[in-house]
């Protein structure tokens, strides 16, 4: 406990120092930061006694003295290359250790109708940055609110249709000591607009890093947002991310979250169906090996009627890795004619890998359809033999079956170049030949 108290003091001292810098922001943000940090100090890091954190022990996070990175990391364009998509995704914003890196970004040829700026610039343009995260009492969201520097703000004008995907890359590049990185992204899609986003997290170096990512996506009436999240930080990374999605009437949000681990990768995704006829797809694939722990907590909150939601999460686990999946679906009294489907499937490639999976349905309306299912299994031996009996080597046959398992999530990634990269990363992660 003494050690934990000491860590709290480290964060408190860092917060006091941050308060004196210009990045701390204008009055309303100062207030929000102080309130959030107050909540963090009061509650501290969650423990396994916390129902939401029962299987995910963040004691290693609490025990590590993470510090803000004060100097600008020198990252060259060449170093970034493996994390970018070349000419296929031209529109890219690069954020290093929570700081926007204009020299590494390419935002000059933005199509009409879309603006990408930092929070400070957005505030100057009188944009409201008030999102659901500011009031969250989630420890890592509070930490992010207290410490984030350059938030990235993507604004799509009403009726604008942006066909070219926008890539926002958050890179963590810790120095020689454990680093606290607070990436933040807010996307506002105006009425009847359409946009496609790739949000990726990558890491460099060998030091430990705590990435407290917060993403907010606000969809106006009739807006369509396609979202891909790629998490591929280093094995020393703790990725504790929260995504908040707010859907207005008849808007459509589709997300594919591809998680490749780290020491702990936890994704909390909350989608609120706040208007009638909104539709939401939350799909994900997580791949874990070694001692990695991957935890996905999703909440789909059906607050209004006639909203379909679709959710497929697939996990591929090897080594001694652990996974947690908790899928909460809330159907509020007004949300009649809700149609919610949830599936979680895990493939265990080693006898030592484990998963805890739990659907959590809270239904308060009486004319709704909610289905959920979870399966956990090994690679299908009959399928494997069938492929081999046609001349395909055992290695290739395994590879093919794993690919097939991941395919209904990966096939949803519309951009071919991004999808091909994800497929290659999957094989690399599983040490399979491509």
Partner 1 sequence: MLLEIKDLCVSAEDKDILKSLNLSVNAGEVHAIMGPNGSGKSTLARALSGHPGYAVTGGSITYNGKDLLDMAPEERACEGVFMAFQYPVEIPGVNNAYFLKAALNAVRKHRGEQELDAVEFMTLIREKASLLEMDQSMLHRAVNEGFSGGEKKRNEIFQMAVLEPKLAVLDETDSGLDIDALRVVANGVNALRSPDRAIVVVTHYQRLLDYIVPDFVHVLSGGRIVRSGGKELALELEEKGYGWIDAVAGAGA
Q: Virtual CA dihedral for 185, 190, 193, 199, nearest 10 degrees?
A: 0
- Please give the Cα distance from 6 to 9 (Å, whole number): 5
Element (H, E) at 400: helix 394-410
CA–CA distance from 204 to each of 40, 257, 261 (Å)? 28, 21, 14
166 versus 346: smaller Cβ distance to partner 1: 346
Tokens of 351: 């006898």
- Please give the Cα distance from 16 to 24 (Å, whole number): 10
Say which residue the tokens 């979202």 belong to.
Answer: 227
CB of 400 to partner 1, least distance (A): 6
Site string for partner 1, 329-368 (x = CB under 8 A): ----------------------------------------
CB of 406 to partner 1, least distance (A): 8
396 binds partner 1 (CB under 8 A): yes
352 versus 394: smaller Cβ distance to partner 1: 394
Q: Are strands 224-232 and 252-259 parallel, antiparallel or unpaired?
A: parallel
- Please give the Cα distance from 178 to 237 (Å, whole number): 10
403 versus 429: smaller Cβ distance to partner 1: 403
Diameter of the chain measured on Cα atoms: 69
CB of 27 to partner 1, least distance (A): 54
209 versus 406: smaller Cβ distance to partner 1: 406
Chain positions 145 to 204 lying near partner 1, rule: CB under 8 A, are none
| Choices 252-260, 277-285, 355-363, 402-410 (CB under 8 A): range interacting with partner 1 | 402-410
Identified binder of partner 1 from the candidate list 53, 147, 286, 405, rule CB under 8 A:
405
316 binds partner 1 (CB under 8 A): no
CB of 317 to partner 1, least distance (A): 18
Cβ 266 vs Cβ 297: under 8 Å = yes
Identified binder of partner 1 from the candidate list 3, 21, 350, 407, rule CB under 8 A:
407
Identified binder of partner 1 from the candidate list 400, 420, 430, 432, rule CB under 8 A:
400
Chain positions 363 to 392 lying near partner 1, rule: CB under 8 A, are 380-383, 385-392
| Choices 70-78, 189-197, 253-261, 395-403 (CB under 8 A): range interacting with partner 1 | 395-403
- Please give the Cα distance from 302 to 34 (Å, whole number): 31
CB of 398 to partner 1, least distance (A): 12
CB of 404 to partner 1, least distance (A): 3
CA–CA distance from 254 to each of 18, 62, 320, 403 (Å)? 36, 34, 31, 21
* Nearest alpha-carbon partner for 225 in 265, 304, 171, 281: 281
Give 420's DSSP letter.
Answer: H
- Please give the Cα distance from 125 to 119 (Å, whole number): 10
51 versus 382: smaller Cβ distance to partner 1: 382
Binding stretches for partner 1 (CB under 8 A): 380-383, 385-394, 396-397, 400-401, 403-405, 407-408
């Amino acid at each position: 406990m003494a050690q934990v108290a000491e860590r709290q003091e480290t964060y408190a001292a860092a917060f006091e120092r941050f308060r004196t810098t210009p990045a701390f922001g204008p009055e309303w943000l100062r207030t929000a930061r102080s309130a959030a940090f107050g909540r963090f100090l009061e509650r501290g890091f969650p423990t396994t006694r916390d129902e939401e954190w029962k299987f995910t022990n963040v004691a290693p996070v609490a025990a590590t003295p993470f510090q803000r990175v004060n100097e600008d990391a020198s990252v060259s364009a060449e170093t970034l290359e493996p994390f970018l998509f070349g000419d296929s995704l031209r529109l890219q914003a690069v954020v290093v250790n929570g700081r926007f890196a204009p020299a590494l970004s390419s935002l000059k040829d933005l199509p009409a109708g879309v603006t990408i700026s930092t929070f400070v610039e957005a505030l100057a343009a009188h944009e409201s940055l008030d999102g659901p995260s500011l009031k969250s009492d989630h420890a890592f969201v509070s930490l992010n609110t207290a410490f984030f520097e350059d938030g990235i703000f993507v604004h799509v004008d009403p009726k604008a249709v942006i066909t070219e995907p926008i890539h926002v890359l958050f890179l963590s590049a810790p120095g020689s000591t454990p680093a606290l990185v607070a990436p933040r992204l807010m996307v506002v899609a105006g009425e009847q607009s359409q946009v496609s986003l790739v949000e990726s997290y990558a890491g460099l170096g060998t030091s430990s890093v705590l990435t407290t990512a917060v993403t907010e996506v606000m969809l106006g009436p009739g807006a369509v947002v396609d979202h891909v999240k790629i998490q591929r930080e280093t094995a020393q990374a703790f990725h504790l991310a929260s995504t908040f999605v707010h859907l207005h009437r008849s808007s459509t949000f589709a997300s594919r979250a591809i998680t490749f681990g780290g020491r702990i990768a936890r994704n909390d995704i909350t989608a609120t169906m706040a208007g009638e006829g909104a539709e939401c797809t939350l799909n994900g694939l997580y791949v874990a090996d070694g001692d990695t722990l991957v935890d996905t907590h999703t909440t789909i909150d059906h607050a209004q009627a006639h909203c379909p939601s679709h959710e497929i999460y697939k996990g591929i686990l090897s080594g001694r890795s652990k996974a947690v999946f908790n899928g909460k679906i809330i159907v509020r009294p007004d949300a009649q004619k809700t149609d919610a489907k949830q599936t979680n499937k895990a493939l265990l490639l080693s006898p030592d890998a484990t998963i805890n999976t739990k659907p959590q349905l809270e239904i308060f309306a009486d004319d709704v359809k909610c289905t959920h299912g979870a399966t956990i299994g090994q690679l299908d031996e009959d399928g494997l033999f069938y492929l081999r009996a046609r001349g395909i080597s055992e290695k290739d046959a395994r590879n093919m079956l794993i690919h097939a398992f991941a395919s209904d999530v990966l096939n949803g990634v519309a951009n071919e170049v991004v999808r091909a990269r994800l497929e290659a990363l999957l094989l690399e992660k599983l040490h399979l030949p491509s």
